[in-house]
Amino acid sequence: MQQPRHFSMLREFQLADWFTLGNAFCGTGAIFAAMRFLQEGVVFDLMIGMALIPLAFIFDALDGRVARWRKSASTLGRELDSLADVISFGVAPAALAYACGMQGGWDWVILSFFVGCGVSRLARYNVTAEQLSGDEGKVKYFEGTPIPTSLVLVIVLWIAASQGAIGSQLWLGVLKIGPWQFHPLVLMFALSGVLMVSKTVRIPKP
């Protein structure tokens, strides 16, 4: 009797999965760039980190197209995609926002809320994907905004950084509410988080 083969990560990978890993690589690089900026204070490092998010978006778009082209969609690929998206479009934008100056206690709460919404959004999609599929087995719409829409937030941060509007010069200034500081610009992350977990917002899936 032939013994079943052990699960081999590399053996099970499809071509699309490598694009997904490229997405995760870019998101991780963006986090490291934010950390390096906080350590060295070189704005160019921060800008490089922000530039990696659009690249992650490209990888994220390509992995689905490659999977459909190769007819190689799998549960492993879907889980990899979600994990990569959490890094690149959840944790990385929050880290970049923190590096830009959203470092008050209330900022931490809102940025953490944003990441939590992104994680919840992806988990809900993975669970409900089959329910939302039509007869042809394809999901026709997103419930809530997809987490890659956080690219818009990173573009806003990039514009602010390019104009020197980071740190103490962050747009909309800073408020002291109770024991902690609060930067009003962080509310765009709160709005993004709410839209991601909304069940009433439905966006057609290409």
Predicted confidence (pLDDT) per residue in 57-114, tens digit: 999 888 766 656 556 556 666 788 889 999 999 999 999 999 999 999 999 999 999 9
Helices within the chain (DSSP H only): 9-12, 15-40, 43-70, 75-86, 92-100, 105-132, 151-162, 187-197
Residue pair 158/97 in contact by the 8 Å Cβ criterion: no
Token output for 117: 């919404």
What is the spatial distance between Cα 127 and Cα 109, in angstroms, rounded to a whole number?
A: 27
pLDDT of 52 higher than 70: yes
Q: What is the mean pLDDT of residues 182-197?
A: 97
In this prediction, residue 5 carries a pLDDT of 53
- Which structure tokens are listed for 31? 């986090």
Q: Please tell me the predicted confidence (pLDDT) of residue 82.
A: 87
CATH class of 11-204: mainly alpha
Residue 134 has pLDDT above 60, yes or no: no
Average pLDDT of the residues in 164-179: 96
pLDDT at 13: 61
Domain ranges of the chain: 11-204
Q: Are 81 and 159 in contact (CB under 8 A)?
A: no
Q: Which of 180, 40, 178 is nearest to 103 (CA)?
A: 180
